[in-house]
């Protein structure tokens, strides 16, 4: 209820559906003018290749 369509079971709620609220949320700008930040989330040890750090670039280029 109230995920994709308004529900008759919640007449007291006048806000958007969950999907509408998520769809309307603005994504924050990534600060690309800052130094590179790459939080390491995991490290894989692959034979023949070596140690491979895994992460997501949060800031910088």
DSSP characters over 5-23: S--TT-TT--S--HHHHHH
61 shares a domain with 36: yes
User: How many CB atoms are located within 10 Å of the residue 46 CB?
Assistant: 8
* pLDDT score for 35: 93
Give the per-residue pLDDT at 60: 86
Residues 2 and 21 in one domain: yes
Domain that holds residue 9: 1-28
Shared domain check, 24 and 41: no
Chain segment 10-27, per-residue pLDDT in tens: 899 999 999 999 999 998
Are residues 60 and 37 part of one domain? yes
Residues 47 and 24 in one domain: no
Which pLDDT band holds residue 50 (cuts at 50, 70, 90)? Answer: very high
Could you tell me if 18 and 1 lie in one domain?
yes
Q: Are both 45 and 58 inside the same structural domain? A: yes
* Euclidean distance between CA atoms 10 and 18, whole angstroms: 13
pLDDT at 43: 98
State the total domains in the chain: 2
């Amino acid at each position: 209820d109230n995920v994709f369509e308004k529900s008759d079971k919640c007449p007291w709620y006048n806000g958007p559906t969950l999907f509408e609220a998520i769809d309307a949320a603005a994504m924050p700008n990534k600060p690309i003018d800052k130094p590179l930040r790459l939080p390491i989330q995991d490290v894989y040890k692959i034979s023949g290749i070596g140690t491979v750090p895994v992460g997501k670039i949060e800031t910088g280029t």
